[in-house]
Structure 1
Amino acid sequence: MGSPTREEEEVTPLVVEVDDEVGSSSRVRRPRNHARDVHILSSAFLFVFSAYGAAQNLESTVNTEGDLGTISLGILYLSFTLFSVVASPVVRALGSKISLVLGTTGYLLFIAANLKPSWYTMVPASLYLGFTASIIWVGEGTYLTSAALSHAKDYNLHEGTVIGSFNGEFWGMFASHQVIGNLITLALLRDGKEGDGVTGKNLLFVVFLGCMVVGVILMCFLSKRDEKGDDLPIRPSLKSLLKLVVAPLLDKRMLLIIPLIAYSGLQQAFVWAEYTKYIVTPALGISGVGGAMAIYGAADAVCSLVAGRLTTGLYSITLIVSGGAFLQAFVLLWLLFGYSTPSGVLAYVYPLLIGAIWGVGDGVLNTQLSALLGMLFKNDKEAAFAQLKVWQCASIAVVFFLTPYITLQALMLVMFVTLCVSVAGFLFLTLLVEKSLTAGS
């Protein structure tokens, strides 16, 4: 057979699909658009959590009989913590895309249960959501990191920069759910009494259900990624499962990150459980909670985008985390030793300022912890992100169960000590990693 003509050589690359299996030099591989998947993933989470985040903020208000709402959240995060321990092998077996789609079903069921709240609907829905939440968040971290690493490889870019950029976009979009969800709540509950009325609770949760459906549909448009571990058998034994769960805890790097992960959970729960109750409500009233949370969410979103763009590697992560930790330490010390409920114009300024500063700190922790785990545990992403949710959710559950029994000052003191310990461990980690890189070069 004769050699191809000049015209055939020019046309062939335009019509041949990418084929990774064939190593022929005559085929031209067109890089895949991994950024498209990040856009879809971010948008899907925005729809899902605009509904769920606002619903979570309302639980203690609209489901007050027998403290059904508060107890449901406690059960949810306890379930979340327990299932996160085994989420890694589940995500590895299913793949991150299927895990993401499956994960949305728990949020859908939880919102549906709020249309007919009772112990028989809310408790099972909370337990199931704990399982699916562990799956969706491990799947998210795995999928996002895989997309970033593939994008960096295909386009010959620096891995740290791409991981930071992708995490910045995701967490920026995700943080926006606080703004959107609270504005929807403000609009639909404004005429109702405790969420009841023509435009009250039921209509609100129907709208939330619609948001959930859109999020589920978007998840289905994600590209499938091959992330199944070769070392995981089709029917994993108990020994292999325990190895996946315990192995990260034998890594010194993970042990040094865990305190910072635990603090990230504490500071999130502080906003949900204490900030609105003890700082916003006394100054602005219950009606001011939605606006304050919107400011918090907006600051969180902007900071996530900026922090993601500034992330280039371990050095930049160290500087960004240190800055965020300093801001939250400042707020904690202010609340512990110099804050009192203000009056006049300051009654509006101080609570919103605290919310904005806290949102900046949350944006820093979300983006930088995800980027850090993605960089340090590229070969064991599922297990690393499972540990992230285990320790975050355990901290959140502790706050929900303990707040009725401890004072605000005691909680903030615990948080300040935890912050100092976690930052010290993180800085030691950076020295350890830098030393190992220097030794290996």
Structure 2
Amino acid sequence: MSYNNPAYDGSEGVRKSNKNLEIVISTLTPKLSSNLNNAYGPEESRRMLKNVLLTSFAFTFLFTAFQSMASLQSSLNSGGLGTYSLSVIYASLVLSSMFLPTYLIQKFTVKWTLVAAVFGYSAYIAAQFQPSYATLIPGAIIVGICAAPLWSAKCTYLTHIGHEYAKITGVENSEPIIVRFFGIFFLFFQSSAIWGHLISSVVLSTDARTCVNDIDSQCGVNFCPDTKFCDANINATSGGNEIQPVTRYTLAGIYLACSLAAAVILALFLDPLTRYGEKERTGSSSKLEGKDLLVATFKHMTKPYQILMIPLTIWSGMEQGFLGADFTNGYVNCAWGIEKIGWVLIWYGVVDAIGSVSFGPIIKYTGRVPIFTFGALVNIAMIIVMLTWKPNPGNPVMFFVIVGFWGLGDAIWQTQINAFYGVLFPQEEEPSFSNYRLWESLGFIIAYVFSNVLCIKIKLFIMLAVLITGMLGYFIVEVLERKRQKI
């Protein structure tokens, strides 16, 4: 069964299952203009929006499983196995970003690159049933290899379909539509943190117990890698430091089902980008073959705009890695208990999701610069708070305040940097988004390496310096772009 054929007449059950989706789409679809492209039917704009939503749903299922499983690695897999696997993921992702996305998208098309990459993520989740160096490390390598093609293909799909949507709806400037599509995507994507952490909180609740540390000397800004504090995720029944097998199998089983559901959605219901002229796209990456196609990713690094955007792109990875590796451990786990991490991250996911969908409409009235500036100021303010605030489990509101504002900032970085890459390099989606994933992954690696060797205070000052440098590079890009448009 396939939706590739515009004349496809599926079963009554399939039509009913998409009824609610069509209702949502109908509220988002503008009236077609008189400039409608004759290559598409009168309902094509609705179909495009349906594809945006299907992509969003698939990523929600996949990252409900993967993000939550990744955030639990240090607790689920002792002896450093879980942490090592995360490091391997991002190390292999860096290599993948440089070599694979452009080639795979050209070879297998955007849709089937997405499907294959989702199965790669599923392999890592399946390895959680019997974690060992023989299963988890190869699974981590597979995820790293698949991650860059997955995200590059997703960004290519949304950006290209955004340009086509603008054409058939008579919109001259496609940027607001691309931003809107990325906003819709990240609304669903960021909500995966809510569902994933709800699942882990419920499943792991029987294996957790609260433990109290010396907050003033051990936690918050004073937390260091060699800080010794009790493990709040010790099995209260067996007295060991591993969760019960039935708990592991339940958690891994639920997450594996979610990841496989993502693959099914993409394979059976998503329209291929060939429907919207994937093979006829212009630009350097669409014309190259073989070795020249791989070189496109490297050549893109030499572009002035790309060079200037590198620090801010690295920041987008560092700020995510810091929250997952340092704030949750040094502030929440140390001062309040590991069983509270899930609830704190749920609030982070809620704010992030709301922010992701909100900034799309706002940017039409304010422009990019105020939004980027606001995001930087929010993160700078939270860094100052974390440098001065002592976590207090008796006043837990501040935990949620910090992650809430951090999620607001992350919503800006994830939606606006993605969209900005699409605007800056409209005919070079694959190499530009490969670079995006490359430098963002480097940010993750830096954050994880720092987590094992530096105290939180030093990390916060380093992050502050990276953010300021990144914003300077961004402002220079905006100035150059405005001068170019005036010529």
Q: TM-score, normalised by structure 1?
A: 0.89
* 1:115-167 CA distance string (max 9 Å, x none): 01111101111111111111101101000111111111111124122111111
1:209 aligned residue (246, 256, 263):
256
The change in CA–CA distance for 1:197 and 1:246 in structure 2 (over 3 A counts) is: closer
**SS of the counterpart of 2:364?**
coil
Residue 159 in structure 1 maps to residue 212 in structure 2: no
C-alpha contact 2:102 2:431 (8 A) present in aligned 1:
yes
Where in structure 2 are the equivalents of 1:66-105 lying within 5 Å? 66-86=79-99, 87-105=101-119
Residues of 2 paired with 1:312 and 1:257: CA distance? 22
Equivalents in 2 of 1:78, 1:111: separation in Å? 18
Amino acid of the structure 2 residue aligned with 1:342: N
The one of 165, 181, 184 aligned to 1:169: 184
Alpha-carbon distance change, 82 to 216 in structure 1, aligned in 2, over 3 angstroms:
same
Equivalent-residue separation in structure 2 for 1:414 and 1:281 (angstroms): 23
Matching residue of 2:155: 141
Larger deviation: 426-435 or 89-98? 89-98
Deviations 1:49-90 (A, max 9, x none): 0011110011110110x3110001101110011111112232
Bigger shift: residues 84-93 or 403-412: 84-93
Q: Helix, strand or coil: the match of 2:243?
A: coil
Aligned-pair CA distance for 1:283 = 3.1
In structure 2, the CA distance between the partners of 1:50 and 1:240, relative to structure 1 (3 Å rule), is closer
Would the aligned equivalents of 1:31 and 1:155 in 2 still touch at CA under 8 Å?
no
* C-alpha distance in 1 between matches for 2:41 and 2:169: 12
* Correspondence 1:272 to 2:324: yes
* Distance in 2 (alpha carbons) for counterparts of 1:214 and 1:239: 36
- TM-fit CA distance, 1:246: 2.1
Count of paired positions? 411
Alignment of 1:280-299 (within 5 A): 280-299=332-351
Contact conserved, 1:189 with 1:199, CA < 8 A, in 2? no
Shift of 1:388: 0.6
Is the CA contact (8 Å cut-off) linking 2:285 and 2:431 kept in structure 1? no
The 1:275/1:232 distance shift into structure 2, 3 A limit, reads: closer
Within a 5 Å distance, the mapping from 1:11-410 to structure 2 comes to 29-32=41-44, 33-64=47-78, 66-86=79-99, 87-157=101-171, 158-192=173-207, 193=235, 196-197=243-244, 200-220=247-267, 221-226=269-274, 227-228=278-279, 236-242=289-295, 244-312=296-364, 316-336=367-387, 338-342=388-392, 344=394, 346=395, 348-410=396-458
What are structure 1's unaligned runs of at least 5 residues? 1-15, 18-24
Give the Cα separation in 2 of the matches to 1:415 and 1:429.
Answer: 21
The answer to whether the Cα contact below 8 Å between 1:160 and 1:312 also exists between their aligned partners in 2 is: no
Aligned to 1:13: none
Equivalent pair of 1:106/1:129 in contact (CA under 8 Å) = yes
Identity of aligned residues (%): 26
Q: Using a 3 Å threshold, how does the CA distance of structure 1 residues 150 and 286 change in structure 2: closer, same or farther?
A: same
Q: 1:28 to 1:266 in 2, by over 3 A?
A: closer
Hey, what's the Cα distance between the residues in 2 that align with 1:316 and 1:404? 39
CA deviations over 1:191-229 (Å, ceiling 9, x no partner): 233673375111111011111111111111111113346
Matched AA of 1:359: G
Please tell me whether the aligned partners of residues 160 and 311 of structure 1 are also in contact (alpha carbons under 8 angstroms). Answer: no
Closer/same/farther in 2, CA of residues 353 and 218 from structure 1, 3 Å limit: same
Question: In structure 2, what is the Cα distance between the partners aligned to 1:153 and 1:31?
Answer: 14
| 1:307-349 deviation line (CA, Å, top 9, x unaligned) | 1222339x6222111101100011112222x2112353x2x01
Consecutive unaligned residues of structure 2, counting only runs of 5 or more, are 1-5, 8-36, 208-234, 236-240
- Quick check: 2:102–2:293 contact (8 Å CA) kept in 1? no
Displacement, 1:92?
2.8
